[in-house]
Amino acid sequence: MTAPDPSLFGEIDPPQRLLMGPGPVNAHPRVLRAMSADLLGQFDPEMTGYMNQVMALYRPIFGTQNRWTMLVDGTARAGIEAALVSMVAPGDRVLVVNFGRFGLLLQEILGRIGAVIETVDAPWGEVVPMDAIAAAIERTGPKLVACVHGDTSTTMAQPLDGLGALCRKTGALSYVDATATIGGMEIAADRWGVDIVTGGLQKCLGGPSGSAPITISDRAADHIFNRRHVEAGIRRDDIGDGAGPRIGSNYFDLAMVMDYWSEKRLNHHTEATSMLYAARECARIMLGEGPEARYARHAAAGRAMTAGLRAMGLTVFGDDAHRMTNVTGVFIPGGVDGERVRTMMREAFEIEIGTAFGPLQGRIWRIGAMGYNAMKHKVLITLGALEACLRREGFALPAGEGVAAAMEAWDA
């Protein structure tokens, strides 16, 4: 087979698009600069020093003192799968708190593992009350309770205070997917009392997809290390196997990944160096801004976006009491072609807004304002562009009211 002529493909030069969907969003320039730094060998003392720094930087972001706070190489879903495959063995009973697409994703992954899946559900646009979760735990007796914190498919954020206590009362472990909220809404792993929380860089943390921060309690670590089975080619006398069933994935085996991040430096995989640099810089930017200031900025962006959409005569989707701060769902007006508007936003204004999934497909747009894009001017530009596109499609709305309402709401 003849190789293509390199002249057929130019240097990558993507359009400078404003990504105001549910993620990914535009990465912070400091993160992109960090990624251009020279590579290091995985056991170079400078490299292992950066790894230790990442562990320290992410503890306050997760709201934890957990020793085992680190990165899983891969997108946010790599963190989810590593957590579930390392905690759950075939035949284990797992309760999934399900209120959107990503609750269904947890069930998909657990089904592949061979878990016995129970659910406690809420309609899309609502969350599951804690007393319903408590009743489901009592009824099903799960080994693990798995939950999404913020589900971008519905734009809802599940309250989690008290979840860990409910699980520990019956001896269950707990897992939370915080991909969509980490860096934009408070993550309080220790206060929630949950055992494992995973995230991603590509939303509120303002980085690229490709690295999954994770924190693991000592209780969960003991459970995982009991399943440790080190691969034959890298066995060492100082790392013994556990008595439990072998974790069903090599790459996502958290027992070996944890030994890699520990002072043992088990040669499990080659760390994704540029992504580690990115994760490190995402954390430095967040902690430099201050977590409370950052959460307030995301809350202001979400408040402004919601107020602006409503002032334009549009109907916002979901329960106001449990809305994520960083993604807003809004119904597509009757008679308006939602995809034509999204295309016009992209082609005329270089702005991307999101479509929807499942029962909401074709019914709502999802508009994000998070990370580097949770800024007043970016919210206002997006609302102004949406107004222009809706007018072009023949939808009557009050001129300029969306932007004016958003400006007032930002400062409220």
- 143 beta partners: none
Angle between helices 254-261 and 218-225 (to 10 degrees): 120
Query: Other CB atoms closer than 10 Å to residue 263's CB: what's the count?
Result: 7
What distance in Å separates the CA atoms of residue 411 and residue 407, rounded to the nearest whole number? 7
Domain ranges, ordered by start, for the chain: 29-286, 291-410
- Could you tell me the fold of the domain covering 291-410? Aspartate Aminotransferase, domain 1 (3.90.1150)
Q: What percent helix, strand, coil does the chain show, rounded to 5?
A: 45, 15, 40
Per the rule left: phi > 0, alpha: psi between -120 and 50, beta: everything else, 362 is left
Whether omega for the bond prior to residue 359 falls within 30 degrees of 0, making it cis, is: no
Angle between helices 273-289 and 291-311 (to 10 degrees): 80
Largest CA distance in the chain: 73
pLDDT given for residue 144 in this prediction: 98
pLDDT given for residue 2 in this prediction: 76
Buried b (16+ CB within 10 A) or exposed e, 102-115: bbbbbbebbeebeb
The pair of three-digit structure tokens given for residue 404, joined into one six-digit string? 């004016």
pLDDT given for residue 5 in this prediction: 80
CB-count exposure of residue 241 (10 Å: 0-12, 13-18, 19+): middle
pLDDT given for residue 305 in this prediction: 98
Q: Is 271 helix (H, G, I), strand (E, B) or coil?
A: coil
Please spell the DSSP secondary structure of 105-153, one letter per residue.
HHHHHHHHHT-EEEEEE--BTB---HHHHHHHHHHH--SEEEEESEETT
Q: Which CATH class is domain 29-286?
A: alpha beta
Measuring CA to CA, which residue among 14, 35, 29, 18 is closest to residue 210?
Answer: 35
Handedness of CA 355, 360, 363, 365 (dihedral sign): negative
What distance in Å separates the CA atoms of residue 280 and residue 211, rounded to the nearest whole number? 11
What distance in Å separates the CA atoms of residue 297 and residue 347, rounded to the nearest whole number? 29
DSSP state of 219: H
CB hemisphere CA count around 166 (13 angstroms): 25
pLDDT given for residue 349 in this prediction: 98
Q: Can you list the residues of the chain whose pLDDT is less than 70?
A: none
Predicted confidence (pLDDT) per residue in 220-261, tens digit: 999 999 999 999 999 999 999 999 999 999 999 999 999 999
